[in-house]
Amino acid sequence: MSQNIDQKEWLIQERAMDKPVLDNSAETRDELEGYRKVYQLLDDAPMSQPPSLLAEGIVKTVTKRKRKQRVIRIIMSALLFAMAIAGVFGLTVLLPQSALLTEVSQAAPWGLIICALIVTGLVGLSIRKLAQKI
Amino acid sequence: MNDLTLVKRVLSNEPGSFDELVRQYQKLVWHIISRLVQNQEDTLELSQEVFLQVYCKLGQYKGQSRLATWIGRIAYHFAVRFLQKQGRAIDESDAEVDEETKLEEEQAEFIQQHQLRTQILKAMEQLPLIQQTIVSLYHLEEMTLLEISQVCDLPQGTIKSHLYRARKRLKQLLQSKRESL
Is residue B154 within 8 A of residue B168, CB to CB? The reply is: no
pLDDT band at A34 (very low <50, low <70, confident <90, very high): confident
Specify which of A43-47, A54-58, B17-21, B87-91 reaches the highest per-range mean pLDDT. B17-21
pLDDT band at B69 (very low <50, low <70, confident <90, very high): very high
Rounded to the nearest integer, the mean pLDDT of chain A is 80
| Residue A58 sits at the chain B interface (C-beta within 8 Å) | yes
At A6 the three-state DSSP class reads coil
pLDDT band at B81 (very low <50, low <70, confident <90, very high): very high
pLDDT tens digits, residue range B93-112? Answer: 555 544 554 555 555 454 44
pLDDT tens digits, residue range B32-46? Answer: 999 899 888 999 999
At B74 the three-state DSSP class reads helix
Give B-chain residues touching A46 at CB under 8 angstroms.
Answer: 117-118, 121
| Residue A54 sits at the chain B interface (C-beta within 8 Å) | yes
DSSP state of B88: -
pLDDT band at B153 (very low <50, low <70, confident <90, very high): very high
Question: Which among B115, B113, B167 is positioned nearest to B136, based on CA atoms?
Answer: B167
pTM for the full predicted model:
0.70
Q: Which range has the worst mean pLDDT, A52-56, A90-94, A117-121, B21-25? A: A90-94
pLDDT tens digits, residue range A70-81? Answer: 888 888 888 888
So what's the pLDDT on residue A24? 63
Is residue B25 within 8 A of residue B67, CB to CB? The reply is: yes
- The C-alpha of B150 sits at a distance from chain A's nearest C-alpha, in angstroms, of 17
Q: What is the mean pLDDT of residues B102-124?
A: 61
* Cα atoms found within 13 Å of the Cα of residue B99, Cβ hemisphere only: 11
Interface of A with B in 3-42 (CB under 8 A): 3-6, 9-10, 13, 34-35, 37-39, 41-42
Is residue B32 within 8 A of residue B136, CB to CB? The reply is: yes
Give A-chain residues touching B158 at CB under 8 angstroms.
Answer: 1-2
So what's the pLDDT on residue B113? 45
pLDDT band at A106 (very low <50, low <70, confident <90, very high): confident
pLDDT band at B176 (very low <50, low <70, confident <90, very high): confident
Is residue B152 within 8 A of residue B133, CB to CB? The reply is: yes
Any residues with CB less than 8 A from the CB of B136 and at least 6 apart, and which? Answer: A47, B31, B32, B35
- % of chain B with per-residue pLDDT over 90: 54
**Would you list the DSSP string of A29-78?**
HHHHHHHHHHHHHHHHS------TTHHHHHHHHHHHHHHHHHHHHHHHHH
- The C-alpha of B59 sits at a distance from chain A's nearest C-alpha, in angstroms, of 15
What B15-20 contacts at long range (C-beta under 8 Å, 24+ apart), as own/partner pairs, is: B18/A59, B18/A62, B18/B55, B19/A55, B19/A59
Question: Which among B123, B137, B135 is positioned nearest to B170, based on CA atoms?
Answer: B123
* Interface residue ranges in chain B relative to chain A, Cβ cutoff 8 Å: 18-19, 22-23, 26-27, 29-31, 34, 40, 43-44, 47-48, 51-52, 55, 94, 116-121, 124, 135-136, 139-140, 155-158, 160-161, 163-164, 167-168, 170-171, 174-175
Contact flag B48-A49 (C-beta cutoff 8 Å): no
